[in-house]
Structure 1
């Protein structure tokens, strides 16, 4: 019995170690896709979507594993503030992604296309792939399986702040906001599927406290900001697109990557231009239709006559494509009713409203692998046209009693819109700004044009040629480089080089933002909002136009029934109408001509500007800060009362230090600050020292400062009135403040600071020995001596007052920059 009991126990223990047949736990049961989606609304397409009304969830069916596609997030609705920068139709970043499955887990992986190995060797490719990090954008669990198809809940991926709205609001100092899931949901009218793309849209609400002024001025309840975000899953283009090499002279932006399969004798960085896919039906023909034309669609929300003007301007590009041998290869059509503007199948020109005027943009979706533009997307700010209208009001004084309003203002504004539409569409074709084109007879719509205001033989303001009509010569060159379809037997590299060589011979070259935007940039012909072949001559001419318009300024510059105080809105852009030409002329001083010369192309890389031209520029610039240029006629000063009730002061007006009355000296200070700041720019000052050292005939920093002081503090010209004298003192104070700032600028070279410091010491000696007349002049001298002494004795503790800054300027009104209408 004892042995039997032992055997039974042993047998029982053995049974305990025999694995039982596995039984799935309830939470491990995998449903079929059909059973899981029964009763749900199906949206078949590139990726099938399923909507569950009861739970408010969206499911995605994945049938493409390790297959790359494009993911783009965007902003269908905006906040309405240019300063915050979250506009209707704003595109986010495009990413190449793919789904990967490991067990029950699904990952959305973004490969790293910045580093590649263009090779047939799999090991070589794998070495690069494993050397650089990739990004997993999202992960989730499989809910249902059927063969190679899997169903996942995509709700959490979509109901998130993919566009970083909260971060943008925080960065613009408009409050701290977080996504409120209880007030967020899918927006089904814009959640759709198509054979080549699946589109998902969501309504998101961000809640927070302490909202900023920009939020308060645009959001009905500032504690809750509700907008929509969009997600696009898009099939990548086939491999039929032929990338085109980047050339810095061509005017195209594009993509770049490092190819580690490159032989060591060749550059490892590869650069390609961004362009649409376009091919001729007959590449050998001088003129051929396209296999598939490029079509842009106009937002139906743009009103007439604006819509027609925008479509006409955008259509100008067909002139360039025809010059490149295409027939009707570029078209602009009205957006089909019911079409989704966020759908990547549509190149879009969108009309966007904001609470204040601001920039327009040309953007789009680019294939990061090849540079192919998949979708062009233009954003045009609706208030821009009103700024041109305002400029025309200031120039024309058109509101005469009993007479019809001149049609010139609307004509000018619509002409600007045509140019604007062409400009922004140009960006979506792959073309960058060309800021030297204005000096070549307005040779490109990719420049920023200031209205060309002329004086008739009778001395009247003439706006008939304010903006160019049609595409420019440079634009035809750019399109030929980017889109010409060469016939068989043509060596493409040589043909592309010939296109650029021919343009260079004709004087059509390309220089862009890096050469134009910085205040201290050096090229004398590369600038924003300028006109004319010579910046100095155009500045002098513009000052004459300005003087004529100011002499005729009256109550006729505003409509009947408007508060007289609103004359200031019209006066500001007129008084500052020379500001951009001042910036252009300042680049002649200490400037240098240069090109993007390539070895062997025959271009001269650098050319010095003559000493005579430098001195001519200084003379023209100093004339802009003379009392004659800055004093406003008494009749104007007596027209503008303090602001009327209901018409608050805005940033569009001159700064005010006089308790609400029009501040004539602030206007003068603003204009003087603009010119003097450019004259004493530290980078320009450094070049002046260098060029003088290399050639004694050149104007140096010392001479510039001496002439600046001679025309202000040491001027022998007797003011015509106490008003002129006070304006001259205002300008002198601006000069002193800039000179002190330059002497303490730690970013400036030591010799720049040394010369500025020496000139301040010389000025102090001169002031000590000057015979100041009158109490006002004596007061200015005493205070200047006090400031210079403090700088000399204790510079670290000296806080130099900053002169008043101009009201917003670009775009002919709003100052941005780096955004601008860039890609």
Structure 2
């Protein structure tokens, strides 16, 4: 239906004279390499619905508006919302049934939206330099699903340290962009309506149908067609043993398809080197290198009309291996010990277990599934959760990494595959969803898990265990044991000694995610996602005694014995050697190149105060705000650094403009009556400009893990 010819660096597209609709998929096949900018090799752009259409003697290319539509298929009012004309093309050749157009200029546009990503990351507002951008005929080709056009794009206008770290010349940043065009047909693929409690991504649009019984904002649940096997192809360049871990974890999903009555529907295998991972029709797992801590990503690229996934795409960040190894080294300090080999083996097994889980997680996204941040409460957690390693201390006082991550799918994962891919009737799907609710398997996802203002006590990423109080106590025991034995053995021979601070920071802030989980209890509201008419309980506030216990537990983490760095553990911390940068995971320092204990104290205190003085949380617990402040103040025990952190956190809440009048007044009163307060406080309460500037608090990155 369409074909591509490259002449030199021209891209000539032949299409039906009557016009054609296509899906346009875009992707970077070579990226920037910075976690801060997030423009990776393998990163997809938006999936667009394009229409080539003859108008007189010319061909117009229009992007159709997929934000609006009628769920019943009615066409009345179809021209109410704007479309976007992308190009007007002159034919360069034609036959009775076809026309050929030059789309070189189109293929050399910023279709992946590099400019938007860079601007969002404060890395400038780059634009394509046409004089240094061109179509590459080598990777460009026609295949059974459509055409692939690859371009070399050079951008000018990047700025900032993030781009300077990775680009040879920040003034000329060149990436590869793939444009895939796939003809659209009247797809008989059955649409699965989005249900907010069923675990799938909702590809949403405004429904223009005037039936008042229909929801004004509707969506579809993305899923693959199962007429052919769903095959994920793993990057052959993933080094061993991590490649086998990716294969093993990715294959866990076969269990879900078998339970859905679809055996032999799903496979994961190593990709042949000669195949094209960017092409439509290949569900690729990429191994991506970048600087700094960065996320792995899974994406389901869908037909916006039906939700049919046309390409699954997964990016696994290779630096995750180094991050997990660093955590294990901080916990076990293996090097130079008599049982070094056994300790290193534990670290590697922990890393491999996490890579298995990570592969399953990201492929789950590519299958159309969302996070479940309530699954730590299930009898077996979902692979779509963000797990924290299950750490424990043995009876003889040693940290044990022998069983850190769950293996295989959880029952929630099996349900989500059945719901999305099984051939159950709508009534059977509804019954299966209700059975999950009745079994107590809650599902809560991104905003409820990640957002600082979340009110859900059940959604919390990066924790282990159903009881947040018990989990914190267990983790503090692990932290104390690891700090007791921390020393030079945290680094392998040959590494710069300045990296010890990076390892120490992982231990000093080991409990940081449990703080966030406890914060969700304060002013929390148990709730579920549902549609009207379903049998779900009304929202229930967290009992006051549980909220009070959470406040007491959190303020207790401001005690000097918690926030002050362990003196024995910090004895081995040294300045960074010449030619090596200060580790990205280190604390800030106001004492020069060496370790700053006050900076570490401020960071540990900030982990707590960021939770306690979050404005929306304070509004939800208005009558208790004064008590929260006083408990935090008392727990600080007069330590000047911690007192300063508590004071500034409270003042930010007072002056931030987000508190309701009543909680603001109560917090002001608590500040004004604080005993032994800093001399500047009385002036700073009414006037934010009177808050003296202090050293910046640097929180070393703690995620992803």
2:616 match = 683
Match of 1:436 among 367, 374, 378: 374
Deviations 1:108-159 (A, max 9, x none): 1222233334668xxx62x422222112121111222221321222221112
1:369 match = 305
Residues 1:431 and 1:264: Cα distance change in structure 2 (over 3 Å): same
In 2, Cα distance between equivalents of 1:219 and 1:596: 45
SS at match of 1:251: coil
Match of 2:111 among 151, 158, 162: 162
1:65–1:98 contact (8 Å) kept in structure 2 = no
TM-score of the pair, normalised by structure 2: 0.95
1:666 match = 599
Pairing 1:253–2:147 present: no
2:522 match = 589
Task: Give the alignment of 1:493-532 within 5 angstroms.
Answer: 493-532=426-465
| Deviation of 1:482 (Å) | 0.8
Pairing 1:653–2:546 present: no
2:223 match = 275
Which residues of structure 2 form unaligned runs of 5+? Answer: none
In 1, Cα distance between equivalents of 2:460 and 2:620: 18
SS at match of 2:30: coil
Deviations 1:484-512 (A, max 9, x none): 113xxxxx221011111111111112111
Tell me the C-alpha RMSD between the 2 structures.
2.1
1:12 match = none
Number of aligned residue pairs: give it. Answer: 703
Residues 1:64 and 1:333: Cα distance change in structure 2 (over 3 Å): farther
In 2, Cα distance between equivalents of 1:195 and 1:741: 59
Deviates more, 1:575-584 or 1:174-183: 174-183
SS at match of 2:703: coil
In 1, Cα distance between equivalents of 2:274 and 2:133: 24
| Deviation of 1:377 (Å) | 0.4
In 2, Cα distance between equivalents of 1:515 and 1:561: 43
2:476 match = 543
Pairing 1:760–2:671 present: yes
| Deviation of 1:72 (Å) | 1.4
In 1, Cα distance between equivalents of 2:484 and 2:527: 40
Residues 1:739 and 1:111: Cα distance change in structure 2 (over 3 Å): closer
| Deviation of 1:336 (Å) | 2.2
In 1, Cα distance between equivalents of 2:119 and 2:453: 31
Deviations 1:408-462 (A, max 9, x none): 1111111111101111111111111110001224420111011110112222111
1:272–1:370 contact (8 Å) kept in structure 2 = yes
2:296 match = 360
Pairing 1:470–2:408 present: yes
Deviates more, 1:579-588 or 1:733-742: 733-742
Task: Give the alignment of 1:168-187 within 5 angstroms.
Answer: 168-175=117-124, 177-187=126-136
| Deviation of 1:568 (Å) | 0.8
1:104–1:141 contact (8 Å) kept in structure 2 = yes
Deviations 1:246-269 (A, max 9, x none): 211101112233444553443354
In 1, Cα distance between equivalents of 2:361 and 2:257: 15
1:741–1:800 contact (8 Å) kept in structure 2 = no
In 2, Cα distance between equivalents of 1:266 and 1:211: 48
2:641 match = 730
In 2, Cα distance between equivalents of 1:64 and 1:422: 45
| Deviation of 1:314 (Å) | 0.8
1:364–1:376 contact (8 Å) kept in structure 2 = yes
Pairing 1:454–2:392 present: yes
Task: Give the alignment of 1:98-109 within 5 angstroms.
Answer: 98-109=51-62
Residues 1:760 and 1:567: Cα distance change in structure 2 (over 3 Å): same
In 1, Cα distance between equivalents of 2:497 and 2:84: 60
TM-score of the pair, normalised by structure 1: 0.82
2:145 match = 196
Residues 1:529 and 1:442: Cα distance change in structure 2 (over 3 Å): farther
1:23 match = none
1:682–1:752 contact (8 Å) kept in structure 2 = no
In 2, Cα distance between equivalents of 1:580 and 1:802: 24
1:331 match = 267
Residues 1:594 and 1:87: Cα distance change in structure 2 (over 3 Å): same
Pairing 1:112–2:36 present: no
Match of 1:94 among 43, 47, 58: 47
Deviates more, 1:332-341 or 1:663-672: 332-341
SS at match of 1:351: strand
2:3 match = 48
1:149 match = 98
1:705 match = 629
1:539–1:620 contact (8 Å) kept in structure 2 = no
Larger Rg: 1
2:31–2:175 contact (8 Å) kept in structure 1 = yes
1:132 match = 81
In 1, Cα distance between equivalents of 2:206 and 2:688: 49
1:72 match = 25
